[in-house]
Amino acid sequence: MKKRIIVYCLLGAPIGLAISTWISIIISLTIGDGNFYPVVPELINDCGSELNAVLLQTLLSMLYGAVFAGTSFIWKIDSFSLLKQTVLHLLICSLATFPIAYTTRWMNPDLKGILLYFGTFFSIYALIWLFLYRSIKKRILQINARLKETNDTNLSR
């Protein structure tokens, strides 16, 4: 299991970096002045140079992706209820990624910024969770229907 978690983390790291890069590109396009904004200006000030800021954000974005990918093993623990899996995954992800968001200045470092960060995080998490739940539930219903059809066919023989 530990090997599998490490593999998940290694696969998640570049995904975290890719998502972070795309967010920077989208923000730069939204600003629309022809410049690329890889990091927030406050992070450049904190790090002393744009290169240091980009390097820090790159490493932390990879860690962000690794955390999400690594914690996905929680969904494979059959002895946990769906509620326990969800709460555990949400707590680990939100608490592990908060310091990353704080350090990279993806949020304002005041109470309002922290509340906004967690509100946004929980809202996005809930939307993704609901989408995945409905998709999986639909797939299970399809599988059960096929099994019932196969079973009914076998019984009628």
Where are the domains positioned within the chain?
1-106, 110-157
Q: What share of the chain is helix, strand, coil (3-state, %, to 5)?
A: 85, 0, 15
Q: What CA–CA distance (Å, rounded) separates 59 from 99?
A: 13
Question: What does the pLDDT read at residue 1?
Answer: 78
Q: How many CB atoms lie within 10 A of CB 46?
A: 15
Taking alpha carbons only, the member of 24, 25, 43 closest to residue 109 is 43
pLDDT digits (tens, 9 = 90+) for 135-150: 999 999 999 988 888 8
Instruction: Locate 143 and state its tokens.
Output: 């599988």
Q: What angle do CA 139, 19, 54 make, to 5 degrees?
A: 165
pLDDT digits (tens, 9 = 90+) for 10-55: 999 999 999 999 999 999 999 999 999 999 999 999 999 999 999 9
Alpha helices in 32-110 (DSSP H): 41-47, 50-71, 82-103
pLDDT digits (tens, 9 = 90+) for 51-100: 999 999 999 999 999 999 999 999 999 999 999 999 999 999 999 889 99
